[in-house]
Structure 1
Amino acid sequence: MTDDNESIQYVPPLTVSLSHSSSLCSRSPSPTHIRIKSSSLWPLLLLLILVNMANSLYILPLNRVVEMRLCREHYARYDPSLLQPDGSVPEKMCKVDEVQKQLAWLQGIMETTFVVCDFVVTIPFSFIAERFGVRVVIWLNLIPRISMSAWALVVGNYYHTLPTKAIIAGPFLAILGGECVFSSTIFTLTSALAREYVERASYFSYISSISYVVAFIGPSLASFTMSQNLWLPFWLSISLLVVAAPTIKMLPETKRRPSAPTTPTTTADHVAEAGPLLGKPSPSPSRYYNAFETGPGGFRSISHAARKLGRLIAGRKNFQVLLVSFFLTALASSDTKLLVQYISKRYEWTFAEAGYMLSAKALVNVTLLTVVVPRVIRASMSSRTVRGSEIWLNYLGAEASIAISVVGVLCVAVSYRFWMLMAALIIYALGSALPVFTMSLVKSPLIALVDSDIQDFSIVMLTKTLGSLVGAPLMAILWVQGIKSGGAGLGLPYFMSGSIYLAAALVVTRLKF
């Protein structure tokens, strides 16, 4: 990291900023930048910890809440004598195919709904970021996260009033922003804080490792707390998100002023730029943000932005290749959403027991991304003698990570013993360094244009979200078919995932150096 007394050029972290840098320069003065101390990375890391931990505490018990409702309905219909006096059923009895298939469908629908809503609002939210600043966007992003935990509490407890399918209503609040908006903001801010390649790659590694540290602690914490009380993880999740709200205030502000100053100015909290980065330029400051107008004007702005997105991708063959690989790897990694259900069903474990297994997998991720990858990168770059060798390092790192993922996911698919699954998850976890190398490639001279990282990261996050959008229903369908088949058929989603990872590896080989 840079010293606290040092500063770097700051790039405003719009969630989606699609105008080509050359067209921006041709229509307005050079944008004003604010210089930020590297200490600004710490509020970002703290926010990431709080949000990811809250999400981890939500996901695992949600499976049990939905399963509990479905299980109660199943036995009430077919064998009421097995119901306990309070109407509940022991979790071990809920691993029957009928209950697990319904659970897979509901979880698939919820995941797809969340991703669709997130994807649809990403571009409109970029206008909000431009006018009101990124803090507002992240604050809005907390609303659906808090509401989904609260809704799980309501649906889980009011089973006499609300049907089980009411749980599907929760993800619709992603209309206020989801993972695409949040992640693109995090990656762009992280990139802005780095001075050069080694530091940027290390920062990406730190960001990824934070996620995996939480992935290590989160499932164990969720498993422990839900063992004490099923509703406790949801209350903890809500509390962490409430604490995260004031943390956002410590992030650098990016709100645009309605008019650009004639000479560049800098302040502690704001960055002013001439004209919007997204949408058509307006002749007067009061009309800069015609995306907020009612009527056809706003739609024309979004259409204009979409056309600029296409122009930014067109003609950049390497960028197109990398986007295809991002789509495929996001599609393949959708199998991780099923992992806790897969472990619980295949080995007839409780969700709390499966949560501890996920923590063991995350421990490998943490070690890889906090120790191994940064040291390999620094050792390789300190001894480089050939210009552009960092591109080769990223390329080889990406290919190796994908190859390891192929082997790991196929081992998960064929694991019918506990020790086999443990070994398979360790192998699979070794491929988790992939985002470090692929995100660094986006910023490298092989891909990036001058000052295009904001736009490129936004397009990457949209592409990854699109991959998740396709992957969520696909994996749910394959999982249901796997349950019907039974035995080795339970690994069907992971066999498909391995095939998709292999396709991604072949796509990456088409990069031109």
Structure 2
Amino acid sequence: MVAEDSLEIEQGIPLICEDGPNETKTPPRSASKSATQQAIVVLRIRPIPWILCIFMLFEAGSNLLGTPLDSIFERAICRTKGFPPDECKSAPVQREFAFLNGWMMVFLSLPSILTAIPYGRLADTYGRLPILRWSIMGFLLSMTAIGIVGLYPEVFPIRLAWTTPVFTFFGGGGGVFGAMIFTMTGDVTTAVQRTMIFSYIGAVGRITSIIFTPLTSSLMNISDWLPYTIGLLCWSAAICITFVVPETMPAPLRSDHRTSEPSTVGRQGWYRKLEATISSLASTDLSFVWSSATFMILLGTLLLTTLGGYVSNLVLQYSTKRYEWSWSKAAYLMTLLSATNLLQLTVLLPWASSAIARRTQMTSQQRDLWLARRAILIFTLGAILMGISSTPFLMLIGLPLFSFGTPYALLMRTLLASLVDERNSGALYNVIGLVETMGGIIAAPSMAQSMSAGFDLGGMWLGLPFLVVAAMSASCALVLAFVRLPDDRQRVRSHPL
């Protein structure tokens, strides 16, 4: 299936069934392709299955590691505070756990903020694969270290876990990993196809979560350390695969790099090469960020909606506290969340895009903006329902609506990519990752504080973090309502929606 989809991409067949009249149509290719053309197609599609495989293994590892580590550290805090196991849901333990998790997200985000732009420049100079490989290695080292802290809470202070993200300076952490996945995919797709192929990446992540979340819950019934160990092995396998993936960096960039390298060898040559690299990092052109007010506004909305992405990490703690569920039982909510995202990315989003293309004269940019406006409104409604959900039934209604934050983020990535020159793709996705990471740094302590306040107030205020997110996303929806793309004045609809 992946190979067929990849081949379709290279043949110029739009992944969205039909484009509006304002789009440039790709003419059908002749059936008699030359051997050279066929070789180019084969070489170009080769990385796509590997990229999806690496992403799947990384997501599998993340699913296998996340919930077990929550359970491990909750028990560790409970022991260090002197509470018996049946009182681990008490307010003091949960406040400390929320505080630990909140600041952990901040420290995990710092490496991405400080290194995203340099690593993006290095990826545009030396290739995507080395940076992708390093980012997974950094995560592997960091999660190994945090596991050691959780294993020996009597030896290591619990808050020593905050120092473990230092390993993610090697590779840049999650922001750089995501940027490399999207950059490599963008290297082998066209602007028209990008919305759908990004949806495919999201769908792979959701399918992986649907499979591995219940598997994690089952393995946790044996031991929390069993899924944790398997998760580390998944990341190790992803690192191994990076050694066989073809490089996707466009040939012109590679040739420019080769011609700019110093011809001398030895110590002097390496010194000049290092000096040239540092100089190129310092001169990274980010003018595309502030060259358009529309671009800056759309980028800013990602900063605010990152709050929703972080709050989704609190769903498990929220449900274990409010409904007195076990961690393994609460983990099934992630299966529901992933299944809903999969439906959105593989059915709802393609259907909506095709329907808009058939019934209107919108360009792909205008379609993405129209869909993003609706997605953020549904996301806001879901956050409100989750915030006031006094029963699991109301939570199960609100959670699928809340999950519309995922297609919103993908639509924004596609829309932003269409507003800048393709030569800046590596820098663009790292800027997006940087903004989302900054949003995480703001969100983590503020949401942890709001959750602690909700625990203190009790009752309906347990859902305070979700109500805060609802207010923030509503402000984003208001901003998006006034955003106008450069060619909006020329838009003419053939049929009302």
Read off the aligned partner of 2:335 and give its amino acid letter: S
Partner of 1:170: 164
The answer on whether the counterparts of 2:116 and 2:430 sit within 8 Å (CA) in structure 1 is no
Aligned partners of 1:340, 1:101: CA distance in 2, in Å?
14
Q: CA RMSD in A?
A: 2.8
Do structure 1's residue 313 and structure 2's residue 289 form an aligned pair?
Answer: yes
Do structure 1's residue 437 and structure 2's residue 441 form an aligned pair?
Answer: no
**Equivalent of residue 350 in structure 1, options 318, 321, 326:** 326
Partner of 2:96: 102
User: CA offsets, 1:367-397, max 9 Å, x none?
Assistant: 121222123323433x2662x4322221110
Partner of 2:254: 272
* Aligned-partner SS, 1:3: helix
Aligned partners of 2:449, 2:288: CA distance in 1, in Å?
35
Aligned partners of 2:8, 2:346: CA distance in 1, in Å?
21
Q: Give the deviation of 1:498 after TM superposition.
A: 0.6
Partner of 1:494: 466
Q: Give the deviation of 1:254 after TM superposition.
A: 5.6
TM-score under structure 2 length normalisation: 0.83
Cα 1:415–1:304 change in 2 (3 A) is: same
Aligned partners of 1:432, 1:491: CA distance in 2, in Å?
21
* Aligned-partner SS, 1:95: coil
The answer on whether the counterparts of 1:149 and 1:237 sit within 8 Å (CA) in structure 2 is no
**Equivalent of residue 477 in structure 2, options 505, 509, 513:** 505
* Aligned-partner SS, 1:75: coil
Do structure 1's residue 149 and structure 2's residue 123 form an aligned pair?
Answer: no
Matches within 5 A, 1:19-418: 36-75=43-82, 82=84, 89-90=85-86, 93-130=87-124, 132-176=126-170, 177-197=172-192, 199-253=193-247, 272-275=254-257, 284=262, 292-293=274-275, 302-305=281-284, 308-309=285-286, 311-381=287-357, 383=358, 386=361, 388-418=362-392
User: CA offsets, 1:387-427, max 9 Å, x none?
Assistant: x4322221110000000000001100000111111111122
* Aligned-partner SS, 2:209: helix
Do structure 1's residue 480 and structure 2's residue 452 form an aligned pair?
Answer: yes
Partner of 1:261: none
The answer on whether the counterparts of 2:142 and 2:166 sit within 8 Å (CA) in structure 1 is no
User: CA offsets, 1:5-54, max 9 Å, x none?
Assistant: 9578xxxxxxxxxxxxxxxxxxxxxxxxx874324211111100000110
Q: Give the deviation of 1:130 after TM superposition.
A: 4.5
User: CA offsets, 1:453-474, max 9 Å, x none?
Assistant: 3433332222122111211121
Q: Give the deviation of 1:345 after TM superposition.
A: 1.2
User: CA offsets, 1:287-336, max 9 Å, x none?
Assistant: 8997944xxx987654433xx32x22223111111111111111333211
Q: Give the deviation of 1:127 after TM superposition.
A: 4.6
Aligned partners of 2:108, 2:405: CA distance in 1, in Å?
26
Read off the aligned partner of 1:66 and give its amino acid letter: F
Aligned partners of 2:145, 2:432: CA distance in 1, in Å?
31
Aligned partners of 1:353, 1:106: CA distance in 2, in Å?
22
Q: Give the deviation of 1:212 after TM superposition.
A: 1.7
Aligned partners of 2:385, 2:214: CA distance in 1, in Å?
24
The answer on whether the counterparts of 1:219 and 1:358 sit within 8 Å (CA) in structure 2 is yes
Do structure 1's residue 3 and structure 2's residue 7 form an aligned pair?
Answer: yes
Cα 1:349–1:419 change in 2 (3 A) is: same
Q: Give the deviation of 1:235 after TM superposition.
A: 0.6
Aligned partners of 2:161, 2:116: CA distance in 1, in Å?
24
Q: Give the deviation of 1:205 after TM superposition.
A: 0.8
The answer on whether the counterparts of 1:5 and 1:37 sit within 8 Å (CA) in structure 2 is no
Cα 1:283–1:206 change in 2 (3 A) is: closer
Read off the aligned partner of 2:375 and give its amino acid letter: S
Count of matched residue pairs: 448
Aligned partners of 2:326, 2:218: CA distance in 1, in Å?
12
Cα 1:283–1:175 change in 2 (3 A) is: closer
The answer on whether the counterparts of 1:127 and 1:291 sit within 8 Å (CA) in structure 2 is no
Cα 1:254–1:450 change in 2 (3 A) is: closer
Q: Give the deviation of 1:184 after TM superposition.
A: 1.0
The answer on whether the counterparts of 2:175 and 2:434 sit within 8 Å (CA) in structure 1 is yes
Aligned partners of 1:443, 1:154: CA distance in 2, in Å?
40
Aligned partners of 2:49, 2:321: CA distance in 1, in Å?
40
Read off the aligned partner of 1:390 and give its amino acid letter: S
Partner of 2:399: 425
Q: Give the deviation of 1:188 after TM superposition.
A: 1.7
Structure 2 unaligned blocks of 5 or more: 13-39, 489-497
Q: Give the deviation of 1:129 after TM superposition.
A: 2.8
Structure 1 unaligned blocks of 5 or more: 9-33, 77-81, 83-88, 257-263, 266-270
Aligned partners of 1:131, 1:254: CA distance in 2, in Å?
12
Q: Give the deviation of 1:111 after TM superposition.
A: 0.8
The answer on whether the counterparts of 2:64 and 2:212 sit within 8 Å (CA) in structure 1 is yes
Q: Give the deviation of 1:164 after TM superposition.
A: 1.9
Larger displacement relative to structure 2 (354-363 or 428-437): 428-437
Aligned partners of 1:39, 1:302: CA distance in 2, in Å?
30
The answer on whether the counterparts of 1:282 and 1:288 sit within 8 Å (CA) in structure 2 is no
Aligned partners of 2:254, 2:452: CA distance in 1, in Å?
52
Cα 1:288–1:385 change in 2 (3 A) is: farther
Partner of 2:427: 455
Q: Give the deviation of 1:160 after TM superposition.
A: 3.1
User: CA offsets, 1:59-104, max 9 Å, x none?
Assistant: 111111111111112226xxxxx4xxxxxx24xx210000000001
Partner of 2:440: 468
Aligned partners of 1:489, 1:508: CA distance in 2, in Å?
29
State percent identity of aligned pairs: 24
Q: Give the deviation of 1:353 after TM superposition.
A: 1.0
Aligned partners of 1:158, 1:431: CA distance in 2, in Å?
37
Larger displacement relative to structure 2 (60-69 or 371-380): 371-380
